[in-house]
Structure 1
């Protein structure tokens, strides 16, 4: 049933669906994975730094050395559920006693991370790994629940056995090397595999067999012989020649909030936007001014920074093999921000920053640390502090407009943003006069139509980060403004793929024929993300016939989109997309089936229930609608929207 439904939905874009197998994104060409141990003999220093690092121990098998938690008959209780941790020989176990008294014992399959917390994985059925929600606080030496304020009974999508906690789909590709998800929709099962658990050498450099061959034959050649192969010494990602932007994109593959387009690790060196769709500065993920809110990792923040715009890269601050900072104090920042400056960045002002005259705090105090003011920190997973990498100047004067946090009151918790703004005004009287994109985005969130003029100006401001401009375009697309579609059509040719992709959404408000004419060139865009967005926007376009060359481009773009969807069919979110796609094509049975698949995966998806009720109202009448709503309210009895729909149907 599930597979036939999927075929029906994807048939809405006029494509065959021969297989949901791996789409080729993890193919290694002529090279094979050989394992990190093969690298250590020649690269002893790098291997020594890597061993014991957060990358090397991102995913390990459970042993007395790797398991840091107390499994010596310890217990933890939460919301009436008892968790008992024990060992049986070499096996680590947890026994869960539910509220109803039912009890089940699970073996610990593997281990994720080493600090500040350690999480454990359980194989709930062959091949399916789930991330357990009771985790170990390494420094505090205690068990704790990741979501103590949430009621997550079995059957809830956010329960540790649910789809959002599935390791194969949500986590593994960034904790493994050469990972392939291998999800089979027909059996709803995983046959995942990887070259190596943990983030090994080949996770960043690419499959190593050709490089090993090159290294072995190099010993046999005289110094006069040419180096073979010349491109990257046989590695897919050559950090010696890649350049800063390619290095950043390589790190960003895991250090970003994004949707993957494939079912596993792309080959290192694959351009980011050919492998992932980056999340924009949307509500729930970021504050309106772009500061971190949800767990968005690093890339989206860094793209907003002036450091990124000036050519600073990840490796300027981070040592890649040990996954450590190059310095732990302000000297990390003063390698550039000092009277000596840094010749690599000629636009940087040479000045004394690590001084009370700049920090207004005693030297050596927490307030004098660069990161305290320019990299706010927020805790995720309960105790894991992550710093905002937008490296912004504190603007407490914007808090009332954007609702974002300010660094000053992070430390001065007994004060408010108004106090902080006044203190900064004493020192920098002109600071509040500087415009900030956060005010425009905040207005756009509140009312994208009224904020249209400001959003249009921001979208065209090439001094702003592409991610910011793309977010302005996304907000404009919510208003459905035909004038904006006309005014901003030139951004379909912008240099930044994020801007081009977001500009496509604005064109949905253009007259259908005009939209097609403007979007056709993007079917051949060099960036996969842009081609996919173009395919989405042309799905319902009034096209009778296209020239052969353009038709081929259209089919190729649709294939890219189909593959991206097929790679995520184990996500409830994907079935929401496919349901919307089926509605666009007026395929009501496929839409109904896709919404049903959403609630089968996650019964708490209110929006899916609402759409099922609306379809029933349109197609089947009041009695059927009432039946759907009764079914929905069993799962979501406190839903205001569903209860209101129920009352409305009863009054008919």
Structure 2
């Protein structure tokens, strides 16, 4: 019995020691594992962006969406030059334009276009790519290794004929607007919105391209983002950790459509907008619009003064003016994103909301029967009874491509009477006057929109004489009830007026909620003392929008040397670097070198300004303003011979330009 007690004692004691040792051992292991994890994290590389994998990878899990997409205009935005994709007549057909005979042929599976090249000589080019599917199809030609140009003679799919996009323009090799010129370059001007994962890769030193893309055509990843991480997330046999990836959602995609309507609209707008890009190619899907582009305002030549579309402005700028946008309507409320068509036919796409039943997603809608003669005053089923006929005027671009205005405006023939703007009524009733149309609208809707003021009544005269409309323009800019694009347009017109009080009266707009307004308000601060400008603009160097940060950085070039705190100087350099990077991404644009030349002039670096203007005229010999500035700089520096040499070169490139001849005569006096 005693032995049993002793044995039990040892077992108990030893067991307690063992347990204590085990606990210590487990703690040590836990600490080691913790250190190992910490060490691995510390030594691991930074999060990386996922790679593009191609739309074919999406098919297995998203069959319905894939089937809708693969026959869409998005998928067919850029295709290979195969017989299955080429719709034009290449059976020894020809087309003559202004004395230039273009011939279309094929042989051994290759399609050819013989036409005038950059030097004017007839050259036979193999078709390098196909753009679009209907209503027209355009062909891409490689004039230098890697350099693709959009050919101007295109195929009318409906009428089965060749036609020229610019029949009134007499364009020959050496002209910037010729099909071989910089404005028709596919790499710079078009490819970004016809490809997925596109990188331009332009080399300014030899003016060459080494462009790449993950996929030609607008693929799944053009909107959703590169799919590598998403594929891992979707594979049950793989371990997915969102922390391994940079800028992705919980499902591994950079664009998260659950972020809301505004994010979705901005993703669509990245291509469906008239804008200036900041990057070398496609921004990563999900990038906020104003971090990747500067949207064009309602400028003369692009929009009518009432905001209706004039030039090819690609939807976003007009949609921002609409009440639908203000109420939270988004692109995919009307459009099927994968098929790239409307969600319903005819008026049905509108009556899914505009009806007696309404739509619970938009509770402020007035419930009424809009698809009825009591509203549209036209025979049911007629063209005039279509919602789009009155509220989405159509304009034709590229000869035959009809595009509709997305501002969804109420027809205002009364503005046509006063301001000569177009109106939907006169589009159909071309045999009637705008006065007749205005009287009809007034009769149908005696208390309608035609009785309310419109910003066009200020914008139209301001385009002619902004100084006479200062009060109206400031009123437009500061009235929060107007769309941001309209307010920013008013601010742009105020920039040309030399009145220091404008800076004071618009300073509050530097804190506006709209990035376009903040950006436009920046330049108006040139009218204040440098110290005040620094105080007001410094916060914008850290604005949430790249558009605003770069606008502020540009303005610091016009501010005299002021000693800045180290922290502010660092912020300025970061914002200025963003601006410089955006310029570097567009050195194949003549317009970019105009900006660089302006910086050279502002900083009195005249050699740099001359070099930039020289690059402008090298890319576009018809850019007369650049030639003129070079002449004036040389003359101002006292180098008359250099000035004469430049003006002679300018006249040789532009023999019919009278202003250059007059400039030369001035130099000889």
Which band: TM-score by shorter chain?
A: over 0.9
Decide which structure has the larger Cα Rg and report it: 2
Quote the Cα distance in structure 2 between the aligned partners of 1:106 and 1:425.
58
Task: Give the CA deviation at 1:436.
Answer: 0.7
Task: Give the CA deviation at 1:637.
Answer: 2.8
The residue aligned with 1:211 is 230
The residue aligned with 2:326 is 309
Which of residues 150, 165, 169 in structure 1 aligns to 2:169? Answer: 150
The residue aligned with 1:407 is 424
Quote the Cα distance in structure 2 between the aligned partners of 1:288 and 1:199.
33
CA deviations on 1:188-225 (whole Å, 9 max, x unpaired) are 1111101000000100001101111111127999xxx9
Higher relative CO (Cα under 8 Å, sequence separation at least 6) belongs to 1
Task: Give the CA deviation at 1:476.
Answer: 0.7
Alignment of 1:571 onto 2:589 = yes
The verdict on how the C-alpha distance between 1:466 and 1:226 changes in structure 2, with shifts beyond 3 A counting, is: closer
Which of residues 150, 156, 160 in structure 2 aligns to 1:131? Answer: 150
Give matches, 1:91-110, under 5 Å.
91-96=110-115, 102-110=121-129
Task: Give the CA deviation at 1:101.
Answer: 8.7
Quote the Cα distance in structure 2 between the aligned partners of 1:635 and 1:315.
49
Which of residues 592, 612, 615 in structure 1 aligns to 2:610? Answer: 592
The residue aligned with 2:87 is 68
Alignment of 1:418 onto 2:467 = no
Quote the Cα distance in structure 2 between the aligned partners of 1:177 and 1:629.
44
C-alpha contact (below 8 Å) 2:119/2:173 kept by paired residues: no
Alignment of 1:525 onto 2:543 = yes
Quote the Cα distance in structure 2 between the aligned partners of 1:559 and 1:83.
46
Alignment of 1:483 onto 2:505 = no
C-alpha contact (below 8 Å) 1:218/1:227 kept by paired residues: no
How many aligned residue pairs are there?
621
The verdict on how the C-alpha distance between 1:97 and 1:312 changes in structure 2, with shifts beyond 3 A counting, is: closer
C-alpha contact (below 8 Å) 2:277/2:294 kept by paired residues: yes
- More deviation in 325-334 or 637-646? 637-646
Structure 2 residue matching 1:450: 3-state secondary structure: helix
The residue aligned with 1:558 is 576
The residue aligned with 2:213 is 194
Structure 2 residue matching 1:478: 3-state secondary structure: coil
The residue aligned with 1:462 is 480
Task: Give the CA deviation at 1:284.
Answer: 1.2
Quote the Cα distance in structure 1 between the aligned partners of 2:486 and 2:581.
28
Q: Structure 1 length as normaliser, TM-score?
A: 0.92
Task: Give the CA deviation at 1:342.
Answer: 1.2
The residue aligned with 1:369 is 386
Quote the Cα distance in structure 2 between the aligned partners of 1:55 and 1:451.
44
The residue aligned with 1:379 is 396
Alignment of 1:55 onto 2:92 = no
The residue aligned with 2:38 is none
The residue aligned with 2:346 is 329
Which of residues 463, 466, 486 in structure 2 aligns to 1:445? Answer: 463
The residue aligned with 2:98 is 79
Gaps of 5+ in 2: 1-45
C-alpha contact (below 8 Å) 1:513/1:542 kept by paired residues: no
CA deviations on 1:608-640 (whole Å, 9 max, x unpaired) are 122112212212355543443332222223334
Task: Give the CA deviation at 1:99.
Answer: 13
Q: Structure 2 length as normaliser, TM-score?
A: 0.90
The residue aligned with 1:256 is 273
Alignment of 1:174 onto 2:193 = yes
Task: Give the CA deviation at 1:98.
Answer: 7.8
Quote the Cα distance in structure 2 between the aligned partners of 1:98 and 1:87.
19
CA deviations on 1:41-62 (whole Å, 9 max, x unpaired) are 1100000000111000100101
Quote the Cα distance in structure 2 between the aligned partners of 1:371 and 1:128.
40
CA deviations on 1:127-175 (whole Å, 9 max, x unpaired) are 1010011100000100001100001100000101000011111110100
C-alpha contact (below 8 Å) 1:578/1:591 kept by paired residues: yes
RMSD: 2.1
Q: Structure 1 runs of 4+ off > 4 angstroms?
A: 97-101, 218-221, 225-230, 621-624
- More deviation in 428-437 or 494-503? 428-437
The residue aligned with 1:42 is 61
The residue aligned with 1:273 is 290
CA deviations on 1:498-555 (whole Å, 9 max, x unpaired) are 1100000111222222222211110111111100000111112123321121111100
C-alpha contact (below 8 Å) 1:119/1:131 kept by paired residues: yes
Structure 1 residue matching 2:379: 3-state secondary structure: coil
Structure 1 residue matching 2:591: 3-state secondary structure: helix
Task: Give the CA deviation at 1:228.
Answer: 11
C-alpha contact (below 8 Å) 2:232/2:239 kept by paired residues: no
CA deviations on 1:95-130 (whole Å, 9 max, x unpaired) are 126899942100000100000000000111111010
The verdict on how the C-alpha distance between 1:453 and 1:126 changes in structure 2, with shifts beyond 3 A counting, is: same
Alignment of 1:507 onto 2:522 = no
- More deviation in 122-131 or 633-642? 633-642
- More deviation in 502-511 or 105-114? 502-511
C-alpha contact (below 8 Å) 2:81/2:130 kept by paired residues: yes
Quote the Cα distance in structure 2 between the aligned partners of 1:567 and 1:237.
23
- More deviation in 267-276 or 416-425? 416-425
C-alpha contact (below 8 Å) 1:477/1:506 kept by paired residues: yes
Which of residues 317, 328, 338 in structure 2 aligns to 1:300? Answer: 317
Which of residues 227, 242, 257 in structure 1 aligns to 2:259? Answer: 242
CA deviations on 1:393-417 (whole Å, 9 max, x unpaired) are 1111112444321111111111222
The residue aligned with 2:33 is none
C-alpha contact (below 8 Å) 1:69/1:141 kept by paired residues: yes
C-alpha contact (below 8 Å) 2:351/2:371 kept by paired residues: yes
Structure 2 residue matching 1:449: 3-state secondary structure: helix
C-alpha contact (below 8 Å) 1:163/1:571 kept by paired residues: yes
C-alpha contact (below 8 Å) 1:378/1:386 kept by paired residues: yes
The residue aligned with 1:21 is none
Structure 1 residue matching 2:495: 3-state secondary structure: helix
Quote the Cα distance in structure 1 between the aligned partners of 2:570 and 2:157.
55
CA deviations on 1:357-386 (whole Å, 9 max, x unpaired) are 111110100011010111111111111100
Task: Give the CA deviation at 1:346.
Answer: 1.5
Alignment of 1:635 onto 2:653 = yes
The residue aligned with 1:341 is 358
